[in-house]
Structure 1
């Protein structure tokens, strides 16, 4: 047991994560999400992409807690930000607070100036824990949904704009467009490899439900989608429009195309996540989306 996580309750054992653990971690996260939201929101590809974050050293930056029967009871990772999940059957035994303390210590050891974690607003125990340890709110995140009892209507595209689904060969242009658009608020640009792990290389990536906008052959907008089998709904992973083509209705047009494509595949809901730094909430509300639930990104200076 690492010295950075003392006081492990009897009957539990801790070790770092390996690639073979990704399936078990996904099952743990899915269980936590069902208990909190009534449905699964995270796919296996997201867990794998987090495990492959640039700079993350599994032997130092991850920790799994198993019970005496060998079942995964809790997990944590830290790499500029952190995540801690405890199985509902193992809460109230100090695992969450212990893993949070371990994550803070590891972040400080790695030279990070602060640690960041997202906490659902309706998880009052977790919110209280973070506040008690000196965390402060940084931004608000929202998961929005678009319900589709009937096929969504499409609008005419702006003059000169054409729309088509994503296809092979679009990957690098889409990466450049997204990173340029996100430069306004993200802390750092993602390399193509890191970006692709979270989007086009995920098993749930849905090119037929991802819409691209072009102006005279140049990519000016993109909606990149995932089809989440556990949730039975579509997920918009990224929305980006080139700066000089904004306020023309391109994002709304692409979202509507993605919604309609999901409807035609039998999905009756589509969701996406955004946060207060992007300034995009009103856009999604105007499209007809509503807030399903909110979370707070907490930070603590180390």
Structure 2
């Protein structure tokens, strides 16, 4: 199968990503985040992990765009989900529209029923572009944060529960716990290798600031943290509690452990993303977190071969 190429404005050229492009792609994403939020929250490990998505073929499913001087100024990938980033200095030239068209064309070529993309609500230009292309809102996502001036107090655990930091060898048990806990809303269960590339094997993973809860020898709760370089904030990548131990305050307890652990390293702010399908927003608000930004997950149904649209109602 021949790769599809986007119809770029004059002077720009494109090619697929390679692992060697990760530093330049990370710099691009960081510049986009700083333009929108005032700081960067993405580390190079997150960009590298995109290349390991099961089913993603970099030669077919990724595009890197360079300007006439050879600088990386835009990127896109698509594999059921999609992302498009254009450097702030190169917006308004048609790159975003060209890459969005490319994601749809590539998804149709691959036989995908639908494409999902998350866009910050503050990025009004991107929101308008998606809506003009027939994307519809699916779920709302919120970035929450917690700031501590004094060292947070950590209450005692519920009866029979112990809490400790993440240790070498905890990955497989944490993976099963998270996948079981997220079964209610996630599209599919992730295999260990994919999950680990975004969490415990990511260079920014912070095992000493992560917290695990046990009932005896059984893992019943996990909060996995990242220490993203240059962000000066702790980030909670995933928080999960086993179903039969929910409602006991374990999630809030794990959060307090992480807030204190980061505070002791001189990091006084922690953030995490959650979305409306999880039903967890209230929990985080009660734990003292507040909403900093919101994003919307948009979905577009694509025509199947023969002109039949994909079935609506399935998760992203």
Give the whole-Å Cα distance in 1 for the aligned partners of 2:196 and 2:225. 13
Per-residue displacement from partner, 1:105-149 (whole Å, max 9, x unpaired)? 101111110000000001111111111111000000000000011
Taking the aligned partners of 2:281 and 2:4, their CA distance within structure 1 comes to: 43
Contact 1:119 1:126 in 2 (8 A): yes
Residue of structure 1 in register with 2:155 after alignment: 155
Does residue 226 (structure 1) correspond to residue 226 (structure 2)? The answer is yes
1:98-177 matches, within 5 Å, as 98-177=98-177
Matched, 1:201 2:235: no
Contact 2:3 2:59 in 1 (8 A): no
Residue deviations 1:63-84, cap 9 Å, x none?
A: 0110110001110000110000
Provide the residue aligned with 1:213 in structure 2.
213
Shift of 1:3: 5.3
1: CA distance, partners of 2:229 / 2:264:
15
Cα distance in 2, alignment partners of residues 39 and 284 from structure 1: 22
Matched with 1:81 is: 81
5+ long unaligned stretches in structure 1:
none
TM-score computed with the length of structure 2 as normaliser: 0.94
Conservation of the 8 A alpha-carbon contact between 1:142 and 1:275: yes
Query: 1:61-80, aligned counterparts within 5 Å?
Result: 61-80=61-80
Mapped partners of 2:214, 2:73: distance in 1 = 48
TM-score by length of 1: 0.98
Alpha-carbon offset, residue 277 of structure 1: 0.3
Q: Give me the whole-angstrom Cα distance separating, in 2, the residues matched to 1:16 and 1:236.
A: 31
What's the secondary structure of 1:209's corresponding residue?
coil
CA distance in 2, matches of 1:240, 1:228: 21
The size of the alignment, in residue pairs, is 301
Stretches of structure 2 lacking an aligned partner (at least 5 in a row):
303-316
What does residue 43 of structure 1 align with?
Answer: 43
Shift of the alpha carbon at 1:40? Answer: 0.3
Distance 2:184 2:175 in 1: 15
Q: CA deviation at 1:56?
A: 0.5
Distance apart, 1:228 and its partner CA: 1.1
Match of 2:314 in 1: none
Counterpart secondary structure, 1:207:
coil
Counterpart CA distance in 1 for 2:252 and 2:74 is 40
Distance across 2 between alignment mates of 1:230 and 1:16 = 28
Segments of 4+ moved more than 6 angstroms: none
Contact in 2 for aligned 1:154/1:256 (Cα 8 Å)? yes
* Conserved 8 A contact 1:4-1:105: no
Aligned equivalents of 1:41, 1:111: Cα separation in 2: 33
Is the partner of 2:115 in helix, strand or coil?
strand
